[in-house]
Structure 1
C-alpha cells in the first residue's frame, strides 16, 4: 500500500520482523528495486545487521546516538544476502 501513491520517501520499521525468510527477502528486494528504479529514498530500521551490505548508507545508533556512519559504494543485491 505504501508504494501506491509513488512516495519520494519510504520509512520502513523492521519490514521483515514478522515475516518468514522467503517473504522477508522478497520484501527487501522490492524495496531495493524501488530505490534503484524509481529513485525513492528508502530508510530501513532494523536490528538485523546482516542486512547492512544491501544499503547505500548505514547509520548505526548506540545508546540513542549516531555511533557510525558507513557509506557503501557497491551495495550487495538482496539475492546474495543471507541471515
Structure 2
C-alpha cells in the first residue's frame, strides 16, 4: 500500500529589506514494507484527521530571536 499526503502553504515574510512571499507544495509518501494488504498494520498508516479536530488550534512553542546585526551592509 502506498499513502500520499499533499498540502500547500503560503509564507509571507516582512523584513527591513521588503516583503518576500512564496507559495509552496509539500508531499509525503509512504509505502508499507509488506506487499500483501492483509499484512498491513493499520496503526502504522497515516490516519485521516477528523473534521472536528481541524477547528482546534495546534499548540506549539516557537522561540523568537531578535536580529542584533547591522541594518545595512558596509559598502
Q: Same fold (TM over 0.5)?
A: no
When normalised by structure 2's length, the TM-score is: 0.22
More strand by share: 2
TM-score, normalization by structure 1: 0.21
Larger radius of gyration: 2
